Structure 1
């Protein structure tokens, strides 16, 4: 799939015009460069995986606070590095999309060569910190980094609709990093958490792709709704949400309360998804699905911590 690049002069003109109304600050530039919301969202599963590993091994947090800091800071740095490298590589198509055209990599407020160096340095430092936890945790972090930076960003994003499947792998390893910092992740709980995040990211990303259909189309990014249309995307969303239904039952060790709440969330999200077959307001429905997905994963992973807190 050939991507038609916007000339640099046009990028600068568009960026300057958009910034006339809102002059970017260093804080806003860094927030966009680090994709702060995405970064924080990915840190939660790491925390949950770490906490659950302590819970199921009857360990005390006080004995592992040093490992905890290394795990959280190290994994966050690796993820930040990957997100920055994604911004560096995608500067050309970001200039075409309304939601990304004010990123510092597009406006030029932060030079691309500096962005590249920052992404590499943060990634390396993150791996070094994680290496002081366990090799297994470091390996999972590398799998996530390599998948996101190389297989997703550089290889599949612009070419294949399977980019979403490939990209989902990088986000799904996050609880494995947290768990493996305590003990090997050959346990039903981290495996189910991996599957949950992997499957969840599909309808979540498809909803975003529908919301931003015109932008992805203009940038010629091979997202599912751009290539195969909304009806196919709706069917895929419902199928993946349905695949989430049995997963809470494999986490019976977290208790009945968790299973009930997770199942209710699954059914409500599935019902909202099926509702998409009976509406012509596709963009409004996609926004609802996006909000459902964000609340779903946040509530679920926070609940895993809450139900295992000492009484």
Structure 2
């Protein structure tokens, strides 16, 4: 320091340190919000909102404010649920390799801070959703309640059924987006709910098979932990097969191309699932199954948006 002023080197070091702290904070927030999980839940909200505009003959630009409010509110509600999940499951996360970077485990965020962040974020999101439509707000609350109370607090540590319970929460996301524009008694949001509900089971089974040691160490009663990997592989196949009929119900809404495209994706997933029982490296197969499930969901939702955009 010269004449009370910082030297250039000191300024540079200070700026670098501040950038590093900011980056570290953002990384912690990403792990706290389970970044990929957050995106996977917000994407159906956006898709259903877009589709509701199309099928109800409403121009997007006339509802831009409502769109921003719906996306912000639903994102906050989902984020709040994920934060509370991290707060409650810190003891489990400490025992699992894949969750070691979460700030609740590293201690970068205090549990009190995380708890209040989850509560405040949830309340803010739900209040914002009340300014969309009451129906959208109700679905937002139900999704939050199922994930936080019925899944996180009640079933995850007790029953293998936890996967199915958690799937209900994720399946409600398209209903939120659609209900912001119109009531959900339409074939499109109903089928989207069914697809997302069933999709989440093989998606989660793939994670639990791939991370079997983690869940076993933590004592979480996932299906492959309690009943064995072979049972989980069979259940995985059954749920994927159950996805086959749903594109048929959307032919009148999206046309034959969507039906053929979605059915082809499902058949491809079935063929992959059938290899599980003969796989030499079950973990590698589960990882491939997990990636396919994500590709499946993203492509289904994107094609829905593209087809309605081109109409």
For the criterion TM > 0.5, the same-fold answer is yes
1:10 paired residue number: none
2:309 paired residue number: 309
Matched length: 289
Structure 1: which 4+ aligned runs deviate by more than 4 Å? none
Where in structure 2 are the equivalents of 1:172-187 lying within 5 Å? 172-187=171-186
Q: Tell me by how many angstroms 1:264 deviates.
A: 0.5
Q: Give the gaps of 5 or more residues in structure 1.
A: 1-22
Q: Tell me by how many angstroms 1:107 deviates.
A: 1.5
Give, in whole Å, the separation in 1 of the partners of 2:88 and 2:163. Answer: 17
Structure showing greater Rg: 2
RMSD: 1.1
1:54 aligns with 2:29: no
Give, in whole Å, the separation in 2 of the partners of 1:116 and 1:37. Answer: 21
2:123 paired residue number: 124
1:272 paired residue number: 272
1:283 paired residue number: 283
Q: Tell me by how many angstroms 1:290 deviates.
A: 0.5
Once the two structures are superposed, residues 169-188 of structure 1 have per-residue CA deviations (whole angstroms, 9 ceiling, x without a partner) of 01000000000000000111
Give, in whole Å, the separation in 2 of the partners of 1:101 and 1:284. Answer: 21
1:215 paired residue number: 214
1:160 paired residue number: 159
Give, in whole Å, the separation in 2 of the partners of 1:279 and 1:214. Answer: 18
Q: Tell me by how many angstroms 1:276 deviates.
A: 1.3
Q: Tell me by how many angstroms 1:277 deviates.
A: 2.2
- The residue matched to 2:137 in structure 1 has which SS? helix
Q: Tell me by how many angstroms 1:310 deviates.
A: 3.8
Q: Tell me by how many angstroms 1:259 deviates.
A: 1.0
1:4 paired residue number: none
Give, in whole Å, the separation in 2 of the partners of 1:127 and 1:250. Answer: 32
- The residue matched to 1:65 in structure 2 has which SS? helix
1:29 aligns with 2:33: no
Give, in whole Å, the separation in 2 of the partners of 1:310 and 1:121. Answer: 40
2:299 paired residue number: 299
Once the two structures are superposed, residues 41-77 of structure 1 have per-residue CA deviations (whole angstroms, 9 ceiling, x without a partner) of 1111000100110111111001111111111000000
Give, in whole Å, the separation in 2 of the partners of 1:199 and 1:251. Answer: 16
Q: Tell me by how many angstroms 1:293 deviates.
A: 0.3
Q: Give the gaps of 5 or more residues in structure 2.
A: 1-20
